[in-house]
Amino acid sequence: MTVEPNWHTFFFLLFAGLACAFAVAVVITSNIVRMALYLIMSLGATSGLFFLAGADFVGAMQLLIYVGGTLVLLIFGVMLTAQGPFISMKTSGGDWIVAFLLSGCLLALLIPAAFSVPDWRGRGASRADASAADLVQHDTATRLGMGLLGARVDRLEERPEHLKGGMSGYLLPFEIVSVHLLVVLIGAAYLARTKRRASNARQLG
Amino acid sequence: MNLLAEPVGVSHFMVVGAIMFVSGVVCMAAKRNALGVLMGIELVLNGANVNFVAMSSDFLYREGGHSLGLDGQLIALFVIVLAAAEAAVALAITLNFYNNHATVDVDRADELKG
């Protein structure tokens, strides 16, 4: 008699294995172009994990902003600087030994900590059907957008009466992040500018 | 088959987050290429994001456990946006360094050494 596989667990193991394997591959390889490719695969698999956790909007944003934006930026950096000796820069053996010792200690600390909280062990399969009614999946895009605008539609009852008016939303961080992005874009454009005139002046002088 | 029938909880997601975080830390510490260090930072931020999203999910807790709700997903969105900003600035600094010194080796960036 075969046990019906839990498909959520199956896809979790698939995406988790991909994400972890490519993350480790980023560390192990010394070729910068391959590192960029493995990073793309790892972050794409991470977006699959987000979808499995019920965060559809965050998973889509992971694909759009991270894989489609940030990593394209990184690949442009790789293409602009990957010349001759910079494509493959080997790390010395002593550095690897220290790094793997440190990472082993950190993993030995983090993984038992992850399994030490009983509430985090997952929903039992036998009781999943009984409580399936209160686990209706709402799409999160609308609720996230309202939260960014300052209205938390998911916890309208919990808010104390005198705080009604959007105090528990994320409007102020949203505005700060938007101004921060503008400043960062101006700063990046200023920093990455070619300073040909200064070097020419130095050569002439 | 036993592994496949077992339900997935927050712990399993946190193990994935821990492995990505540690990979990123090793990447930041051991790589000599400045862009490799940047990729390590991206891995660290993603490991943290996996934890935030897992703790905000209603499906991954045992009965009666309380999730973070939407807060975790909102913080994950902010992390994604700030990571994009950080990558832009760090890449601009790296390109500037490459233009001035004709190298991307972080060990050669020792002009401020006393």
Q: What is the pLDDT of residues A128-143, one digit of tens each?
A: 554 554 566 677 888 8
Residues in chain B closer than 8 A to A106 (CB atoms): 18, 21-22, 25
Q: What is the model's pLDDT at position A178?
A: 93
For residue range B83-106, what is the model confidence (pLDDT) as tens digits?
Answer: 999 999 999 999 888 888 888 888
Question: Which residues from A are below 8 Å from B63, CB to CB?
Answer: 123-124, 127, 131
The larger pLDDT score, comparing residue A152 to residue B43, is at B43
Residue in A19, A17, A9, A14 with CA at minimum distance from that of residue A46: A19
Task: Please indicate whether, in this complex, the C-beta atoms of A107 and B18 are within 8 angstroms of each other.
Answer: yes
Contact pairs from chain A to chain B, CB under 8 Å? 288
List A residues 92-121 in contact with B (Cβ-Cβ < 8 A).
95-96, 98-100, 102-103, 106-107, 110-111, 114-115, 117-121
Give the helix ranges, DSSP H, for A115-170: 140-148
- Cβ contact B1–A185 (<8 Å): no
pLDDT of residue B45: 95
Tokens 């540690």 correspond to B22
Q: What percent of chain A has pLDDT over 90?
A: 35
pLDDT digits (tens, 9 = 90+) for A167-178: 567 888 899 999
User: What sign for the dihedral angle of Cα A108, A113, A116, A119?
Assistant: negative
Please name which of B28, B46, B52, B29 lies closest in space to residue B38, comparing C-alpha atoms: B28
Evaluate whether A73 touches B87 at the Cβ level (below 8 Å): yes
Cβ B91 vs Cβ A80: under 8 Å:
no
Across the interface, whether the CB atoms of B43 and A42 are under 8 A apart is answered yes
Helix (H) or strand (E) holding A37: helix A32-52
Judged by DSSP in three states, A168 sits in: coil
* Shortest CA gap A163–chain B (Å): 17
Is B32 within 8 Å of A91 (Cβ atoms)? yes
Q: Do B7 and A9 touch (CB under 8 A)?
A: yes
- Confidence tier at A154 by pLDDT (50, 70, 90): confident
| Per-residue pLDDT at B103 | 84
Give the list of residues 6+ apart from residue A116 with CB closer than 8 angstroms, or none: none
Give percent of chain B with pLDDT exceeding 90: 48
Grade residue A50 by pLDDT with cuts at 50, 70 and 90: very high
Minimal CA separation from B114 to chain A, in Å: 23
Angle between helices B70-101 and A171-191 (to 10 degrees): 10
Chain A residue numbers with beta carbons less than 8 Å from the beta carbon of B67 are none
* Nearest-CB residue to B104 (from A36, A74, A81): A81
B39 pLDDT more than 90:
yes
Q: How close is the nearest chain B Cα to the Cα of A63, in Å?
A: 10
**Mean pLDDT taken over chain B:** 87
pLDDT at A26: 93
Chain A residues closer than 8 Å to B70 by CB? 140, 143-144, 147, 152, 154
- Angle in degrees, CA B23, B27, B31, rounded to 5: 160
User: Looking at residue B109, what is its pLDDT?
Assistant: 82
